[in-house]
Structure 1
Amino acid sequence: MIVHRYDGDRDLLRPLFREADDSEQQIDAYLDLGAVFVAEDDGEIIGHLQLITGDDAELKSMAVTESRRGTGVGRALVRAALEHCRQNAAKRLLVATAAADIGNLRFYQRQGFRMLRIERDAFVPSTGYPDEIVIDGIPLRDRVWLSQDLAGEA
């Protein structure tokens, strides 16, 4: 498996973006922003990570194909994002995920992210999300922001 920056047509990655976000409206708003990294294995794209850099960089979207989850692909993508942030002098990396998605919360904390804040009612019809989404038995409503400080790291 290799992880590299992706400069191709992002619409080809839309199925992965849809794995990460239930709102086509939101995906349309950010699809062309920032840099995208992909994980490839034998020429097949098996994961993506979208990174928007600045003083506070944001891991905007990330997904791994279902058959490859739990095999280190996500960890490799996050490592590539952290390295890119350090090379571009970002002070911290932010990521947001659904409060209902316990698996994502566990994953990001294992990668060194810490809870930052909660954004209530982020996943509602007015922001492009359908009603009645339930994750792990929990209604999708709130967004949790996590961060990893990078200042002072080489």
Structure 2
Amino acid sequence: MIRRLKEIENAPMKLLLLADPSESIVIEYLQRGSCYVLEKNNQVIGEYVLIPTRPETIEIVNVAVDESFHGQGFGKKLILHAIEESKKLGYKTIEIGTGNSGVNQLALYQKCGFRMIGIDRDFFVRHYDEPIFENGIQVIDMVRLSMDI
């Protein structure tokens, strides 16, 4: 079951930090957006965060699944839910970004219908104090993807 996190509930910070290592950045976008959680057997095993960015445009800024549940289709379920939720909220475009080294994420987002629209060069160098590595590659650039909904 996927549901919107209630204001009185604490955000699943451990999961959020899997997708974004900066707690201050996570806290900042949680204040501007809505967090949705995926529960299995009363345990939060996944999440995503939506924030409005421009008129008729919303962005998925964080999506993560507990590592013990990887490879079971929960990431895709979260992305498809985010798309449907964004449609219900009246948005016309949904965007998402990922690091240049996120080969699995890039594949997943494209399987869900997103198309690459650009590269934000040096994004992770500008916004994060410590270097981030994924798949043995330094995360430097943000790959931006979009979908008309």
How many Å apart are 1:25 and its aligned residue? 2.8
CA RMSD of superposed structures (Å) = 1.6
Which amino acid in 2 is paired with 1:128? Y
- For residues 21 and 84 of structure 1, the distance between their equivalents in structure 2, rounded to whole angstroms, comes to 22
Determine if contact 1:85/1:93 at 8 Å carries over to the other structure: yes
Q: Deviations over 1:52-78 (max 9, x none)?
A: 135111001110000111212112211
Q: Does 1:116 align with 2:121?
A: no
**With CA pairs under 8 Å and 6+ residues apart, which has the higher RCO, 1 or 2?**
1
With normalisation by structure 1, the TM-score equals 0.88
Determine if contact 1:59/1:93 at 8 Å carries over to the other structure: yes
Q: Deviations over 1:80-123 (max 9, x none)?
A: 21111111221111001001111111111111111011001111
Deviating 4+ runs (over 2 angstroms) = 8-12
Q: Does 1:89 align with 2:90?
A: yes
Q: Percent identity?
A: 33
Partner SS for 2:108: helix
Structure 2 segments unaligned to the other structure (5+ residues): none
Match of residue 101 from structure 2? 100
Change (3 A) 1:90 1:12: closer
How many Å apart are 1:9 and its aligned residue? 4.8
Match of residue 135 from structure 1? 134
- For residues 99 and 17 of structure 2, the distance between their equivalents in structure 1, rounded to whole angstroms, comes to 14
Match of residue 41 from structure 1? 40
